[in-house]
Each structure stands twice: as structure tokens, then as C-alpha cells.
Amino acid sequence: MPPETTTYAKALNVALTALIENDERVFLMGEDVGVYGGAFGVSDGLLERFGEERIRDTPISEDAIVGAGVGAAITGMLPIVEIQFSDFVVNAMDPLINQAAKLHFMYGGRTNVPLVVRAPGGGGTGAAAQHSQSLEAWFAHIPGLKVVLPATVQDVHDLLIASVRDPNPVVFLEHKLLYKTEGPFEPTDVENPVAEIGKSLVVREGSDITIATYSLMTIKTLEAAEQLAGEGVDVEVIDLRTVRPLDIEPVRESVKKTGRLVVAHEAPVPVAVGAEVVAGVVESDALDYLLAPVKRVGAMDVPVPYAKELEAAVIPQVDDVVDAVREVMKS
């Protein structure tokens, strides 16, 4: 039988349910995750099912929430911390960056910090500059953190399981506009994660140009690829899925085949993950296969505006990816 279809948010809910049922060490905590069911409905019904010990509503203090998560993790629990908007992780940078990411190394490997920090990121909802950022490059710069950005319904389920099973702290970023998207879905075993953190996937094969991307931009890029196919351009799309660790080898191999590369992400272009992807290609023998300069697609270098028209202009859209490919193909 073909897999069922469900939403991104529901796939997360299924994963959370299975993880909490399977292991008494797993619990969820954050602002409004209990009675309210989460700001985007991800934890709907979990409080009634598991009770206040396993689904913990917290005060409005990201510093305290992540700090408590670090403490729980180093004392044997497997906490999943939800930050209502990824922008608010800024308030918890000390426990996340100076504690969670460092303790394994500072204690000579004698302790692990199996903490998962879930947070919705990205724009497109009219939530303005303080609720619409893409901060993944900031987190990915920190040794000791893993950074996961699933694009599909199946991946968000499978990679959450892999993240909870990982002994390292993981920042798990879910794009707001993905929660209501639907896709094929099949629950997988929480004891044996089928997805692996740090593995890119070729999600569309092509021969003319490579696009490396992740999160919501994977969906936009696949749409752009279909449009470009009508123009006779065969696009290969690689979903990075995680940006720390970054699996660059599939991108290199793809560039050796296509000779051209575009990197697409929602974050502003300067000092972003795209630059690291490009460096990973040009610092390898794939450089010799490039037939044209590399192009990066990303947001404008400004805070995300509130006005709908301005927001759409700042954040990269399908047409921006199409235009970038056309430009590279002419080179």
C-alpha cells in the first residue's frame, strides 16, 4: 500500500507521541506547549495523553527553558525544548552556546548533552522583523551544536527521532510555512532512526545545473525546477537537510556532472550557509568542472518587513531561483 498523506505539523506530533511513549526519559517543555497545544498546533493533544510531567508549560523565559533543558540533559533525561519562535533563542544564547555546546568537551567527554531545541523559523507570515528570521548560520557556526532543517513531512518526523536519539545538542528548525504542507508519510521505528543527521539527499535528478538548498527553499526550488524543465533546463536539486554537520560530497559530485551551481536559502546572502557550500565545492576537485560562476540566492540584507508586499520582495521566491538559473545557464 502507498504511504498515507499527512501534514508537516501532524508528522511532528506523531514523532513526539512515539518518542514520549517509548522512553520515559523524553519530555517536552516550552511556552504554551501544553494547554494551548503549541503556537502552531504541533503538540495538540499531548498534555491530555501524557500529563503535566511529560508536557510542561513553562514561564516566558527562554533563558530558563533552555537552561533547564541543559540541566535535564546532563542528568540523564532526553528533553525536547520548544522555543515559540526561533528569533527568541537569542534570549537563551548563554545556556545554548556556552553550556550545551561546550560541556561534553570541557568535561573531557565524561558527559553528553542530548538536548533538542525545536523552533519555528523563517518569514512569509507577516510577523515582521523580530519573528521572521533565518538564524541557522549563527547556530551552525558553533562547534558542538548540530543544526537540522527538514523540508518534507517524512523528514521532519524521521529527523526529529534521529535528533532525540543523538547524544549531542541539536537545534531543530521548522519553517512556519511548512506546518500546513502535506506529503507522503509513514511512521518509522523510534528505536532505529531511518534518517541520519548530516546526510544530504538528491531530491530531483538533473544534468544541466545543480541547486543546493534546504528547508522551505527546497519546496520553492523544486517548483522552480519544474518551471525550468519547460524551458529545456534539467535541474538537479539537493536538499542539504542539515547544515551542521554539512554533507557537501553529494553537491560536489553533482557539480562534476552538471558543471553549474546555484545555492538557495531564505537567510540573507552575506555570511550565510550558502557561502560554506560554495567554499566546499571550490576547495575541492569539483572546481575544475565548473563551467560558469556560482550564484547564491537569498534574502535581501535587511530585516524582514511587516508589509506583505515588502516581505515578499525581501524573501527569495520561486522566480528568484528561476532567474538565477537562467543567469548561470547563459554564462
Q: Residue 48 catalytic? A: no
Contact 48, 34 (CB under 8 A): no
Of 164-173, 177-186, 190-199, the one with minimum mean pLDDT is 190-199
Set 31, 82, 104, 131: catalytic member: 131
Segments making up each domain of the chain, as ranges:
4-185, 201-330
Joined together, the cell numbers standing for residue 122 give 523563517
Separation between Cα atoms, residue 129 and residue 46, nearest integer Å: 31
Instruction: Give me the percent of the chain exceeding a pLDDT of 90.
Output: 97
All cell numbers assigned to 59 = 514561564
Active site residue 62: yes
Cα(109)–Cα(112) distance, integer angstroms: 7
Q: Do domains 4-185 and 201-330 have the same CATH topology?
A: yes
Q: What is the pLDDT of residues 199-229, one digit of tens each?
A: 999 999 999 999 999 999 999 999 999 999 9
Look-up: residue for cell 523559523? 121
Give me the chain's average pLDDT, please: 97
Q: How far apart are the first and last CA of the chain?
A: 46
Q: Does the 201-330 domain belong in CATH 3.40.50.920? A: yes
- With vertex at residue 35, the alpha carbon angle to CA 33 and CA 41, rounded to the nearest 5 degrees, is 50
**pLDDT per residue over 28-45, tens digit each?**
999 999 999 999 999 999
The reported pLDDT for the residue numbered 331 is: 84
pLDDT at 125 over 70: yes
> Per the confidence metrics, is the pTM higher than 0.85?
yes
For domain 4-185, the CATH architecture is 3-Layer(aba) Sandwich (3.40)
Annotated catalytic residue: which of 62, 136, 276, 311? 62
pLDDT of residue 192: 82
